[in-house]
A and B are shown apart, each in its own frame.
Chain A
Amino acid sequence: MLTWLAHILHWSFLDSGSVQTALLVGGSAAVVCSVIGVFTILRGYAFAGHALGDVSSAGGSASFFLGISPLVGFLGIAGIAAVSLEFLGVRRAREQDVATGIVLGAGIGLSALFLYLDTTTTSTTGAAVMVMFGSMFTFPVSLRGPAVLTAAVALAMMAILYRPLLLSMVDPELATTRGISTRWVGLLHLVTLAAAVALAALSVGAVLASALIIGPAGTAVRISRRPGLAIFLAVVLGLAAVWGGIWMAYESYYWFAGNAWPVSFFVVTIIFLSYLMSVPLQYALWRRIAKPVRMAANAGG
């Protein structure tokens, strides 16, 4: 039985250095993205999250050209884009999509330039695929520390922002009377979102970053409306998608005679399928649970 399991699971999986780094860096990205994703969806910033991912590709492609860590590149450009989004008037609903779309275009234009410079002046190969679609198995070991640190700082930030952000989302007027600056809270949320986007872009690529941010969180928000439970569910789903994707990509080596499929494909597929499954689950849960809960709440009140 055990040998059969070992054969199916290929125990060498956890021995590989590339897999360990991918699990650690990808796992950090999954946790941070899932937590921040819940707030991003509740605030209606899903498109802004996607745009930040696309824009950050400029940072990723510049990092190859400048010879710096891709994490620094992604973080820098996503941070700048987040601040510009806030100041370009992202808060007025009608202008939000326009400002976001314009920043997005400018960012991708820059990455077109940097990718051109990469191919014409450096020996870097496959920079475009790496920046746009990620390449988790090529992470250098030196990336582990900075990635985990970025994730820790972003999570600490979300812990501080948790209450003020929720309050300013639910009731901005009450938040203002309590002395909360909704503008600052909004800006800090966007900057933290930029950090999550940078980690996601590094792991699954700039184009697919939004899948990691709104995917697990979107599924969780469908199932639970309580923020705490939604965040917990999102983290579980995010980790399952990233770690499951890494494992399946590793296994696919044996399915296709050594031509393993890309990790990002498996991660995004798992995210998509779990979102699909959440739709019937949502109806089933609401029909079964909503009524008794409401009755219990009434009885309690």
Chain B
Amino acid sequence: MGTLRRRRNLSDLPYRTTLAWSLLGVAAILGLGMAQAAQAKIRAIGVENQYANVIAQIGGQYVQVSAIVSNPNTDPHVFEASPSVAMEVAKAQLIVRNGLGYDTWVKKILTADFKAQRQVIVVQDLFGLPENTPNPHLWYKPGTMPKVAAAIAAALGKLDAAHRRYFNTNLKKFDASLKPWYAAIAAFKAKFGGTPVAVTEPVGDYMLEATGCQIKTPWTLQAAIMNGTDPAPQDVSIQKRLLRLHLVKVFVYNQQVTDPLTASFLHLAEKSHIPVVGVYETMPSGYSYQRWMMAEVKALRLAVTHGISTTVLK
């Protein structure tokens, strides 16, 4: 017993020293790498790709942006972070995330790996929204992005003071580029305010409210579909009645949160010739934030005026 123990300790000793030295080496290389990165482009992450897009528009050539949640075929509500994603998040100098339970896993990674100089923008906190805010899809709210963009410009200015003016110029450009979207919303509201619509889940609700649409689908059904819980048969009956009896003019369908029930609603809407407008949790590929939002309002307008479906944004 005694000899066994001594032998194990002896063989451990050189191993431990090597380990310590190699760890030191790795730390040195990492430190060097990070120092170089700081001199070059700012590493930024928009957790949801719509925020990444806005960072890229404000930061331009001085920022290297990546998005984490961007697969249009998956539901971001149930995203699972892999170790490589955790590494990427840990290395970022600027992080923009939505909050409201949409990306709690990022918060966990950031708490586990705290860095004082890292800039973190939580959209929920920018607006002081309580944790129990029922609808987390803030990017569909017309007032959201200007404030987020301003916060991004300020954060980038802190990280790279030399290009503060450049960021502010881009911020003004961004704000101006939202004007056509606001105009389209106002025009829709003036002409078609009060249009009754049905939805599957609340992803586009903020925009529908801004355009003056009346959302006829019961909130409890929207919440059940969003959270993947049991929908009440009463709510399902109400929704089916809305579609079957043509009590709504448009059916707004979330392409990223689907189940057999939403599929049956889609089928019913198509059978009743109710135009369908596809909405998304994350920015569809080939779009910028502004063009995406504009496309949604245009699709809504086409549905109301010509009864044309835009199930998928292309």
A residues sitting closer than 8 Å to B (CB atoms) are 12, 15-19, 22, 116, 119-130, 135-141, 249-250, 253, 258-263
Contacts and interface: CB of A to CB of B under 8 A. Distances in A.
Contacts of B229: 126, 129, 262
A76 B264 CA distance: 25
A125 B258 contact: yes
Interface residues of B, number: 34
Given A22-B233, A123-B257, 11 more contacts: A17-B237, A119-B80, A120-B71, A120-B80, A121-B73, A123-B255, A137-B236, A141-B264, A250-B232, A253-B232, A262-B230
Contacts of A17: 236-237, 240
Contact of B228 (A127, A250, A259, A260): A127
B232 A260 contact: yes
Contacts, number: 100
Q: Is the interface of A mostly helix, strand, loop or mixed?
A: helix
B74 A16 contact: no
Interface in B23-55: none
30 contacts: A18-B233, A18-B236, A121-B73, A123-B74, A123-B75, A124-B75, A125-B78, A125-B225, A125-B227, A125-B257, A125-B259, A126-B227, A129-B228, A130-B228, A135-B230, A137-B232, A138-B230, A138-B259, A138-B260, A138-B261, A140-B260, A140-B264, A250-B233, A258-B218, A258-B220, A259-B220, A259-B232, A260-B232, A260-B234, A261-B230
B258 A123 contact: yes
Contacts of B73: 121-123
B77 interface: yes
B258 A258 contact: no
Given A125-B225, A138-B259, A258-B220, A119 B79 contact: yes
B231 interface: yes
B256 interface: yes
Contacts of A138: 230-231, 259-261
B306 to A, nearest CB: 28
Contact of B230 (A116, A123, A137): A137
Contact of B235 (A12, A127, A258): A258
A117 to B, nearest CB: 10
A68 B257 CA distance: 18
B226 interface: yes
A141 B264 CA distance: 9
A113 B133 CA distance: 32
Given A17-B237, A121-B73, A250-B233, A116 B80 contact: yes
A162 to B, nearest CB: 36
B279 to A, nearest CB: 13
Nearest to B232: A260
B8 to A, nearest CB: 33
A116 B235 CA distance: 30
Nearest to A140: B260
